[in-house]
Amino acid sequence: MKTGLDALPGLLECMHCGLCLQSCPTYTETAAETDSPRGRLMLMRAVAEQRLAPADALPALNRCVLCRACEPACPSKVPYSDILHQHMELHATPSSGLSRWLNSSPRMKYVGKALRLARRCGLLRLAQILPHKKLRRAIAMVPQKPIFFRPPAGTVFPALGEQRGVVALHLGCVEAEFFGANIQDSIATLTAEGFQVVCPQQPSCCGAAAAHDAELESGCKSGHQTLQQLQGFDAIVVPAAGCAAFLNELDGNASALDPLIFLARVGLRNQLKPVRRKVVYATPCHRQNVLGDAPEMRAAILSIPGIELLESEESEMCCGAGGAAFLREPELTDAIGARKAKFLHHSGATQVISGNPGCALQLESKLRDRHANMKVIHPISLLRESLQV
Ligand code: SF4
Ligand code: SF4
């Protein structure tokens, strides 16, 4: 097994130019060098060269929200996230108790169910008096009206009219537990456009959450299991940008697509009705920095008649929901989320478009804190509205 600098290829490519600093949400918030990509790389280098104990680098590394905005900003193409994951693997960094506990797929399912019920009967309001700050923060993010929708494994939704193909739909964990309407909207639009939708047996989480929380091995195992189940169809449709990015990186041939982007690529056969609305797109970091199809998503949103797509300040900056930092670093991620919500609120839009459940949880909660009357919706929901299906 490689150790030291040999185990972290690309680390020495960092020339400390600082061109990545302004794209980093944690550095933007605190202006501390240790909260910057350059600072974190220097800490990992110091550990690799045995000048620093791994435990001393850990607090700064744990504050990274894994948005990966530093990667496209870097002229030397330093593979920041690969280096971070390798570092975490090498030093067997345990994730925080709460996030490690939550990262288990079956637990996520039961916790989701309990939180939905507690939200419905008003019990979550009592959470404000909990002494555990991280737990309080996690509970505050539960949507006001969570919708559960997880069709049983093997469910097939037939195409309407002449069939154009068969797609596999990935359901995800947070998406199915809290944002089931996105899955319903994906099914309604895909079937209306002539695609049979199959929901194959799949783990209740694709593993992205675990992989982003220093549980790379177990996360990749779930990811490969998920991909195996989604093979053999004309396309893999994944409403959650974070899951799509993880699955595509795990297997370069996977090509997991957002439902709106998939339909824009194959072309719509139904007439669209105008949806007269001012919206702002909160680009998920994984779409911007990993999948690279954010411009395609913007074009697909703009192709819906009547939509006015407004811009917000720092539109490409992370909302602070990435990785498991929101559980470990509630104060920092709260501040990043509040800043993002402020700019979205100031855009003049009435709706925020997001395509990732983690971002939607964070943005809804931060917009709520501002008493901003802005709903966060998935891009596919706009298309469903326009198709009137
Ligand atoms: S991944 Fe995001 S938060 Fe982490 S160092 Fe890079 S830009 Fe900063
Ligand atoms: S990571 Fe890239 S952009 Fe950032 S300081 Fe190093 S070389 Fe410069």
pLDDT band with cut points at 50, 70 and 90 for residue 389: very high
DSSP readout, 266-326?
Answer: H---SPPPP--EEEEE---HHIIIII--HHHHHHHHHTSTTEEEE--TTTTS--S-STTHH
Ligand 2 within 6 A of CB of 295:
no
Q: What confidence score (pLDDT) does residue 320 get?
A: 93
CATH code, 24: 1.10.1060.10
pLDDT of residue 261 exceeding 70: yes
> 205 with 281, same domain?
no
Task: Kindly report, residue by residue over 311-341, the tens digit of the pLDDT.
Answer: 999 998 999 987 677 778 889 999 999 999 9
Joined tokens for residue 363:
């943005």
From the CA of 41, give the closest atom in ligand 2: 1
Instruction: Write down how long the chain is.
Output: 389
Does any domain span residue 145? Answer: no
Name the least confident of 36-40, 105-109, 120-124, 166-170: 105-109
Average pLDDT estimate for 200-217? 78
Does any domain span residue 147? Answer: no
Please state whether beta strands 351-353 and 375-377 pair in parallel, antiparallel, or not at all (unpaired): parallel
Separation of alpha carbons 171 and 250, rounded Å: 18
The pTM for the full model equals: 0.89
Q: Whose CA is nearest to atom 4 of ligand 2?
A: 20
CB 311 within 8 A of CB 343: no
CB 314 within 8 A of CB 382: no
Q: Whose CA is nearest to atom 8 of ligand 1?
A: 24
What domain count does the chain have? 4
Average pLDDT estimate for 294-302? 96
Does any domain span residue 150? Answer: no
Residue 239's CB is within 10 A of a number of other CB atoms, namely 28
Q: Which ligand is nearest to the CA of 74?
A: 2
Ligand 2 within 6 A of CB of 20:
yes
Ligand 2 within 6 A of CB of 74:
yes
Does any domain span residue 271? Answer: no
pLDDT band with cut points at 50, 70 and 90 for residue 253: confident
CATH code, 323: 3.40.50.1860
Average pLDDT estimate for 288-299? 94
Task: Kindly report, residue by residue over 263-285, the tens digit of the pLDDT.
Answer: 999 999 999 999 999 999 999 99
Q: What confidence score (pLDDT) does residue 209 get?
A: 78
Pocket of ligand 1 (CB under 6 A): 23-26, 37, 40, 64-70, 80
> 306 with 380, same domain?
yes
Picking from 266, 293, 317, the residue at the C-terminal end of a domain is 266
Q: Whose CA is nearest to atom 8 of ligand 2?
A: 17
What Å distances lie between residue 185 and 32, 72, 381, 386, CA to CA?
Answer: 42, 32, 6, 12
Its domain, for residue 195, covers: 155-266
Provide the percentage of residues in the chain whose pLDDT is more than 70. Answer: 91
Q: Which ligand is nearest to the CA of 336?
A: 1
> 322 with 251, same domain?
no
Pocket test for ligand 1, best of 19, 33, 68, 336 (most atoms within 8 A of CB): 68
Calculate the CA 384 to chain-centre distance.
22
Q: What confidence score (pLDDT) does residue 57 get?
A: 96
Q: What confidence score (pLDDT) does residue 115 get?
A: 78
Does any domain span residue 148? Answer: no
More confident of the two residues 254 and 55: 55
Query: Which single residue is written with the structure tokens 């570092």?
Result: 87
> 126 with 206, same domain?
no
pLDDT of residue 96 exceeding 70: no
DSSP readout, 320-365?
Answer: S-STTHHHH-HHHHHHHHHHHHHHHHHTT-SEEE---HHHHHHHHH
> 85 with 115, same domain?
no
Ligand 2 within 6 A of CB of 15:
yes
Joined tokens for residue 350:
């009435």
Ligand 2 within 6 A of CB of 76:
yes
Number of H helices, E strands in the chain: 20, 9
Q: What confidence score (pLDDT) does residue 94 get?
A: 54
